[in-house]
Amino acid sequence: MFPFSSSRRLRGIRHFGAISRVLIKHGLGEVAQRLKGLGRGSATKAATPVLPDAARIRRVLEELGPSFIKLGQLMSTRGDIFPPEYIEELSKLQDRVPPVPFSEIQQTIERELRRPVAELFERIDPQSLAAASVAQVHSARLKSGEKVAVKVIRPGIHKLIRKDIEVMYYFARKIEKRYELGRALGVVNLVKEFESTIFRELDMLIEAGNIERFTQSFEDHEEIYIPKVYWQFTSKSVLVMEHIDGIKMDQVEAIRRAGIDPQEVAMIGLRSFSRQLMQAGIFHADPHPGNTIVMRDGRVSLVDFGIVGYLDEETMMQIAHVFLGFSEHDYEMVMEAFEAAGLVDSQRMDLHQFRLDLKEISEPFYGRSLKTIAVKDVYDQTMRLVFKYRVALPRNLLLLLKTFIQTEALGKILGSEASLLEVTRPYARRLLERGYEANKIFKNLGREIRTAGGYLRWMPKLTHDVFKRIAQGEHRLEIRHGGLEQTARKFENGLNRLTIGLVVAASVIAASLILNSSQNILVVQIDRFGLQSISITQVLGVTGYIIATILGLWLIFSIIRSGKL
């Protein structure tokens, strides 16, 4: 996060005038006045926690420029903190700007690759194929003859974004200080999240690495094609990749004219999505029609890997449980997966009601093909549930939810009869079966043992440091116990019962041995009760049986009375 010096604060104040004019223009003058009043140090009561009109906020962000449009796009994925009407409106933000003159693009390429453009390419088209706020793309041909797409970061964009982020922090802190709702939404944290993600999107080496990882994940998957990266022509601000010639996925009639079945294309997309989630552990998080190309031979190619999500093995397993639970109407499995992922907490929400609400929004969509489902309805209802229960979704899961909706939307455009849950079910089953394989269990066990070993290596040093500080008087060691009285009583009672049981057993054994002995000691002649004589050994044996019987009956009675039989 940027430190705020006096000069930066002054620059924020200078920007305030321009931003204030935009707010007033779109009917948000009251917001501008409150922020301006706070800037002069005036103290006012907290504002009523009501969000401004969503459409006005969208128009404000559009007019403020590329960085604020990107911020709005990030906000559109945060259904956990913004209501559905905001999510819908902010999703309309379009990241399209006029292209930078080719002369500036050429300077960037030559500076990054340290060679003249004429030496790098046989030719390069000065007209851009696409232009967005952070980069633009030009077609070109290498000296070796391959047709390529050259993606170049817009000159000066790093400086502009840093300047805009300073302004965002400046106003985010004002909003949190002035509006209680701003603190509840965590406006400053939202800017922090934007700052951490936008600069990853500006690094072409990261995007190139994402492409390589997708290539490895789909190298044995013939129906998906990932473009090749030309690393010798790639740097932090320039990415040269194979140019994919084909048809955008939403051009259904063009796909049919090419002799390709649109429904099969949709199935390829759904299988690809399932594979990304439950095998690769990385997913393309922006699969809109412009980034999904149907090739002339019927394969589907993914392009533009600037926004991807990453999943660890544990998260993949949880997602598999969620998909399998939904496909089999097993909401207990879904809830267990949610709890394992830390998304729901019985201490702060009514899990029973949450489960009922989840079932209520899910059941109507079972068994229906994509073309009969209003994707907007699914998304809106899901976001309402997330917003109602204040479920804190990690960024990757928010990206996953957005990707899920976009994938369904593409399937619907293509007229797919498939059910996404049915397509993902076998992938989920295979993932869960793989997770329970013996070699996987031993691999995880080995990892846990290595982790424990690391802790053990540090234990002697940590113990030495603790006792050293205690000896030097820096710390005081106090040992207290409490609440152990009941445990001690239970232990004592158990020990007493065990002792009595041993006495009973010993008495029975001793009495049996004595009575069965052929030796008689101190024989006394009597003529009563049908006995002619009796010895002391016989008396001891009978007495042992009597004692054992009494103690045994008492022990059984006490156990029955305690209810622990």
Q: CATH number of the domain at 221, please.
A: 3.30.200.20
Task: Note if 377 is an active site residue.
Answer: no
> Residue 13 above 50 pLDDT?
no
The answer to whether residue 426 is domain-embedded is: yes
The answer to whether residue 254 is domain-embedded is: yes
The answer to whether residue 455 is domain-embedded is: no
Report which residue type is found at 266: A
Name the active-site residue from 203, 286, 297, 357.
286
Same domain for 126 and 214, yes or no, is: yes
Same domain for 329 and 211, yes or no, is: no
Same domain for 403 and 493, yes or no, is: no
Same domain for 365 and 510, yes or no, is: no
The answer to whether residue 41 is domain-embedded is: yes
Q: pLDDT digits over 504-555, tens only?
A: 677 677 666 666 655 666 666 666 555 556 667 667 777 777 877 887 777 6
Same domain for 109 and 221, yes or no, is: yes
Domain residue limits at 238: 101-154+203-243
Same domain for 373 and 298, yes or no, is: yes
**3 state SS of 511:** helix
**3 state SS of 222:** coil
Same domain for 119 and 179, yes or no, is: no
Cα distance between residue 445 and residue 448, in whole Å: 5
Q: Which residues are CB-contacts of 170 (< 8 A; sequence separation ≥ 6)?
A: 4, 8, 9, 12, 13, 15
Same domain for 408 and 557, yes or no, is: no
Same domain for 305 and 233, yes or no, is: no
The answer to whether residue 444 is domain-embedded is: no
The answer to whether residue 334 is domain-embedded is: yes
Q: Is the pTM of this model over 0.85?
A: no
Q: Based on the structure, what is the number of domains in the chain?
A: 4
Same domain for 339 and 395, yes or no, is: yes
Cα distance between residue 174 and residue 427, in whole Å: 48
CA dihedral 465, 471, 476, 479 (to 10 degrees): 80
The answer to whether residue 55 is domain-embedded is: yes
Over range 431-435, report the average pLDDT.
Answer: 72
Same domain for 208 and 175, yes or no, is: no
Same domain for 25 and 122, yes or no, is: no
Identity of the highest mean pLDDT range in 293-297, 326-330, 365-369, 513-517: 293-297
Q: pLDDT digits over 21-50, tens only?
A: 777 776 766 666 666 654 444 434 444 445
Could you give the C-alpha distances from 284 to 63, 293, 403, 417, in angstroms and in order? 29, 13, 8, 23
Q: Which residues are CB-contacts of 9 (< 8 A; sequence separation ≥ 6)?
A: 170
The answer to whether residue 171 is domain-embedded is: yes
Q: What is the percent of the chain with per-residue pLDDT over 90, rounded to a whole number? A: 17
Residue 243 CA to its chain's centroid (Å): 33
Q: How confident is the model at residue 357 (pLDDT cuts 50, 70, 90)?
A: confident
